[in-house]
Structure 1
Amino acid sequence: MLELTWVTVLILIISGVIVGFINTLAGGGTVISISVFMFLGLPPLVANGTNRVPIVFQNLASAYLYHKKKMVDWKKGFQLSIPIIFGNIVGAIFADYLPSKYFSYIFAGVVVLFGLSLLFDPKRWLKENPTLQHKPTPALHYLIYFIMGFYAGFVHVGVGYFYIGALVLLGGYDLMKANVMKILFVLFSVPFGLSVYAIQGNVHWEYGLIHAIGNVIGAYIGVHYAVKKGGTFVRYIILALVLIVVLQMLDVITTESIVKLLSSGK
């Protein structure tokens, strides 16, 4: 049993606030959570499973806050989440057997393309297409959502970028509405993947629940700023996060070094 000290609690809550804010506005905060859990002594697979606990609470809080502002389409969100749920379960089952490095390469490529599109074609992301939104969802789109769900169940890191990209480019949503729908995708699907990790004994509930406290606070802050500032603000935040991801891929910065720096107080 890992020792739980006040320093550990502080690290989990503070990092949770940052992760909740990032994930509510875009995605990619998961890499911070997993790095923090591993820094505190959890094996990679357990860190990956434990990460699902705060994600559930964070997206529950975000969905509730957006619902209060009448910005949530629960019916459509659940409909599109069905293939993601199945993908999540399959991905979580196979997490023990497949090399994650291949998914890292895919994620890196998608994030870079995503960032370039946001930078050079912003109007496409800020203007919705109601015609596309109300068309029946093609079978191919459901397959794409299943594949994204598989990735989410397996790694989850940065899956928010995949969801937002698909919702804007395939579904006709603007960036703001896509971000809200993304939260529903995660809320509906992650509990199933979490159940698989829990059954396998790969969840540290104490760390996960404490980290969730920070996640909920971060989600509250993120929703407040997203609603107040609108899609343009979300776009700038995502661009900044994409830049950080690229710097991480180039080994200019690492999440582990940031965690160590914060925990040392230097």
Structure 2
Amino acid sequence: MEPLLLFIAGLVGGTMNALAGGGSGVTFAALVFTGMPPIIANATNTFAATFGYITGVAGYWRHMEGLWRDLIWQVPLVFIGGLIGGWLLLQTDPQLFSAAVPWLLLFATLLFMAGPQLQRAAARMQSRNVRLLGAFAVFLTCIYGGYFQGGFGILTLAALSLGGYTAVRAMNGLKLVFATVSSVAAILLFATQGKIDYVGGLAVMVGIGIGSYGAARLTDYVSDANVKRASLAVCWLVTVYAFVSTYS
């Protein structure tokens, strides 16, 4: 039953991520629900999500022409950021992390709600050294992403806006490249410490892959506004469940 539940969670999460965002909270909550300790669930969630990032990069590859020079010097920073975030997770006391999970999910849900406003605010804050400022913001974001996946994509888009990027498709491609690199860095640490449940992770991963693919077909039938409302409702349900189960 557990692999089926995790597959369904991956299906829902992959669909949400492809259409609007917020799916990482669903898959993480499902992993915890099956009885995984939160730190292992978090590491496993990062492992499962990476497949979706890689397939997404393939889809956006053609939109990133002219950005290779930026990638060459930013990718090492992103990798280091992911390593730092993964290392910080491994240093966190399990009980402390368990207590922090509802708050992390709440933060991710609020980010999802405020995503467009956050990007616009970041774009208005551009300075002369926009690329340098953006790279530093991406580095900090990747530390967060190595630690916890919820809200990572929204923060990355805001960081790219701060760096002067405006082309939406190119920004989504860069976001997925950075998510892939920082997640792989964190996964390397998690794997060496035995913190990944590969059986559960693969079940989620397959669901994410199918959900992401199927989401492309849903766009013909469902409006963006309705998708975001549904995704936000799921995010709030997961967040409320986390608070109730942790503090009741």
Q: TM-score range by the shorter chain?
A: 0.7 to 0.9
Deviation at 1:43, TM superposition (A): 0.8
Are 1:71 and 2:63 an aligned pair? yes
Residue number in structure 1 paired with 2:203? 210
Alignment of 1:187-226 (within 5 A): 187-223=180-216
Q: How far 1:113 moved relative to its partner?
A: 3.4
**Does residue 1:39 correspond to 2:40, yes or no?**
no
1:140-184 residue CA offsets vs partner (Å, 9 max, x unmatched): 322211111111111111201101222234333244432232111
Q: Helix, strand or coil for the counterpart of 1:201?
A: coil
Q: State how far apart, in whole Å, the 1-side matches of 2:51 and 2:172 are.
A: 17
Deviation at 1:234, TM superposition (A): 5.7
User: What does residue 241 of structure 1 align with?
Assistant: 231
Tell me the amino acid that sits aligned with residue 196 of structure 1: L
Name the aligned partner's letter for residue 84 of structure 2: V
Secondary structure of 1:30's partner? helix
Residue 176 of structure 2 is matched in structure 1 by 183
1:246 to partner: Cα distance: 5.3
Write the distance in 2 (CA, Å) between the matches of 1:136 and 1:106.
29
Q: Where does residue 9 of structure 2 map in the other structure?
A: 15
Shift of 1:84: 2.2
Structure with bigger helix share is 2
Name the CA distance, whole Å, in 2 between partners of 1:46 and 1:143: 29
TM-score using structure 1 length? 0.71
Cα 1:80–1:222 shift into 2, 3 Å: farther
Distance 1:81 1:173, change over 3 A: farther
- Any conservation in 2 of the 1:50–1:204 contact (CA below 8 Å)? yes
2:160 matched to 1:170? no
Contact kept, 8 Å, 2:52 with 2:212, in 1: the verdict is yes
1:203-224 deviation per Cα after TM superposition (whole angstroms, max 9, x unaligned): 0111111221111112223356
TM-score normalised by structure 2 residue count? 0.76
Match of 1:140 in 2: 133
Match of 1:150 among 133, 143, 168: 143
Partner of 1:260: none
- Separation in 1, partners of 2:238, 2:204: 23
**Aligned twin of 2:153:** 160
User: Do the aligned residues in 1 keep the contact of 2:22 with 2:109 (CA within 8 Å)?
Assistant: no
Separation (CA, whole Å) in 2 of partners of 1:223 and 1:182? 19
Report the 3-state secondary structure (helix = DSSP H, G, I; strand = E; otherwise coil) of the residue aligned with 2:36: coil
- 1:22/1:194 Cα in 2 relative to 1: closer, same or farther (>3 Å)? same
> Structure 2 vs 1, CA of residues 54 and 28 (structure 1 numbering), >3 Å: closer, same or farther?
same
Which piece of structure 1 moves more, 53-62 or 196-205? Answer: 53-62
User: Judging changes above 3 Å, is the alpha-carbon distance between structure 1 residues 214 and 243 closer, same or farther for their aligned structure 2 residues?
Assistant: closer
Identity %: 21
2-structure distance, mates of 1:224, 1:23: 14
CA displacement, residues 100-144 of structure 1 (integer Å, 9 cap, x when unaligned) = 5397275455444325568xx7xx99xx9xxx9xx9753332221
| Residue in 2 that maps onto 1:52 | 46
What are the ranges of 5 or more consecutive residues in structure 1 without an aligned counterpart? 1-6, 258-266
**Structure 2 gaps, min length 5:** none
Inter-partner Cα distance in structure 2 for 1:39 and 1:248: 11
CA 190–206 in structure 1, closer or farther in 2 if over 3 Å, else same: same
Aligned residues: 232
Letter in 2 for 1:213: V
Distance 1:109 1:164 in 2: 15
Residue pair 1:56, 1:187 contacting (<8 A) in 2 also: yes
In structure 2, the CA distance between the partners of 1:20 and 1:117, relative to structure 1 (3 Å rule), is same
Residues 60 and 170, structure 2, Cα contact 8 Å, conserved in 1:
no
SS at match of 1:14: helix
Q: Please give the alpha-carbon distance, in whole angstroms, between the structure 2 residues aligned to 1:146 and 1:161.
A: 14
2:130 and 2:162 in contact (8 A); partners too: no
For the aligned residue pairs, the C-alpha RMSD in angstroms reads 3.6
Once the two structures are TM-superposed, the CA of residue 193 in structure 1 deviates from its matched residue by: 0.4
